[in-house]
Amino acid sequence: MGQADVRYDEVTDRLTFHVGGEERLFERARRCGQPSELVVASAELHRRNIQRRLREQNQSKEAFVFDDPVGVSREILTAAGESSKAIDRIDRLALIRSVLADATDRESHPVSLPPGMRSHAPDHVEQIRTEVEAVTNYHPERVTAWRRTADGLYAPIDAEATELLTLACDVERELREQTPKAISEIDLVRQATQTLVATNGAAWTDAFPELERVTLLGLSSLSAPHADLLHALAATTPVTVHVHFRKATGAYLQARAAALFDIDALGEVIFE
C-alpha cells in the first residue's frame, strides 16, 4: 500500500481530534531558538487573538509559526519547485462567464446548465462549484458517493442534486483548461495535498524542517480540501496533527471525521 492509500484508521496515532481545548496551546508556549509547532487558523482574526492572548499572559510565541491553510499550501508548493499562483475571484468569474456563454446548446457545449438556470449567472455557478468542492474535493470516491446518494432521493430532488454535481464538475474541468494557474486558493490546497503524496512528504520537510506538530484551531466546519491536506500530512510525514473543533459543532464534526478522512488514493481527482 502506497502513501496515497493510507486510510484514516492507519494514521490515528498522528491525527487527533479535539472538541475545544485550544487553551492547551498556551501550555506549550516557551522561549526557544527554533519553533516546533505550526498553528493554523483559517481566519486571520483568530490567529491574531491567539497571539494577543500570548502577549497578555506574557508568554513567548517563539515556539510557534502562525499561518492559514492556503499559506501553508503555498510554502509546500514553493519548496517543491511548483507554482503557487492562483487567479482571484474576479478573474475566475470572468472565466466562468466565458465558459457559460451559449451554454443553452446542450448538444455541443461542454457545460450543461440545469433547467431554469441562466447562462449569465456566474456568481450562482461559482457558489455551486465551491460548495461541491467543499464536500467532495473532486475526489472520485466522494463524487461517486454524491451520485449514489442522489439516486436514492425522491424526485425531483434526485435529478437536481445530480445536475448540480455535474454542473460543478463540468465548470471546474473547463476552468482548468482556461488557465495554467490554480483556479482558486482552495485549488492550491488540493495541489499541496497532491505534492505531499507525490514527494512522500519531502516537500513538507523542505518547507518546514524543524516543525514537529501541526495544530488547527477554531474550526466550526471542516471541508474536504482541508481534511485531505491534514490527511496527507499525517500519512506522509512524522508530524503529529491536532484538530480543535469549536464546542458548538465539535461533537458532530468529530463524529463524522472518520468518514471524511477514510478515502483511498489520497489527492486523486476525477479530472485526471
Report the pLDDT value the prediction gives residue 187, as an integer from 0 to 100.
97
Q: Indicate the domain borders of the chain.
A: 3-83+185-261, 89-178
- Number of residues written out for the chain: 272
Which residues touch 31 (CB under 8 Å, ≥6 apart)? 60, 62, 63
CA distance 128 to 144: 17
* Of 80, 71, 83, 69, residue with least CA distance to 137: 69
Fold type of domain 3-83+185-261: Rossmann fold (3.40.50)
Report the pLDDT value the prediction gives residue 262, as an integer from 0 to 100.
86
Which residues touch 50 (CB under 8 Å, ≥6 apart)? 22, 25, 39, 41, 66, 217
Which residues touch 77 (CB under 8 Å, ≥6 apart)? 83, 84, 188, 191, 192, 195, 203
Report the pLDDT value the prediction gives residue 168, as an integer from 0 to 100.
95
Report the pLDDT value the prediction gives residue 14, as an integer from 0 to 100.
87
Mean pLDDT per 10-residue interval, the chain, length 272 residues = 49 86 88 90 87 89 93 98 97 92 59 72 93 97 95 88 94 93 97 97 96 92 94 94 88 86 91 82
CA distance 39 to 66: 5
pTM here is 0.91
Question: Is 7:263 a contact under the CB 8 Å cutoff?
Answer: yes
